[in-house]
Amino acid sequence: MYGAAQPVSEPEAHIAMALTFDDGPSPRYTPQLLDGLRERGVHATFFLVGEQVEEQAPLVLRMAKEGHQIGNHSFSHVDLTKCSDEEALRELQSCDLALRSVLGPGEYWVRPPYGSLGDAVCEAWHTPVICWSVDPKDWECRNTEQVVHHILGHAEDGSIVLLHDCYATSVAAALQVVDQLQAQGVEFMTVEELLSRKGGEAVPGKVYRKIG
């Protein structure tokens, strides 16, 4: 585990983790986050809500151009476990189409809203399903210091950290975490890069909460 006063003693171990951001893109806060990540040389993973993708197409294109991984967070951010399997698949397919309309062909990994997806839908879907291992509940507390403290206290090698780029407090927290952990030798990368680094296989329908 990490704490603010607990430096990583062996940076040569290539400790790595993934910062992920849900519910965007936010025209107000996502550009600030992208600026900060670019300054720090960090790639993250953004799980986007389909109904916001076309309206924010320039921002989505910027994410891709700057090397971030872009994923599918459903079209309208509904709880997919409260839908029929057919409705849940339509939600994912609609978001996938929205992403393709802006970014072109690609494999846009899924993160279901609330981290819940039925087994049958997982099995039917054609990409990995990405959940998380560190959740500071930034959407609830809206407190930068609290979010930073939680991440530093729980993140470890292979962690997938859940944040939301629609809150100023979360953007500030993410950049503070990067500054503190980069100084300790931690590397930040996309979920796809993290899986590749760890020698794992991207298995369609498999749920990933941590890598390695």
- Would you name the residues annotated as active-site residues? 22, 164
Pairing type for strands 207-208 and 129-130 reads parallel
CA-based nearest residue to 52, from 69, 77, 31: 77
Q: Residue 84 and residue 184: Cα distance in Å, rounded?
A: 46
What SS3 class is residue 164?
strand
Q: Residue 138 and residue 163: Cα distance in Å, rounded?
A: 6
Alpha-carbon distances, residue 88 vs 73, 112, 120 (angstroms): 11, 10, 10
Residues near 95 by beta carbon (within 8 Å), at least 6 away in sequence: 48, 49, 50, 53, 72, 73, 74, 75, 108
What SS3 class is residue 128?
coil
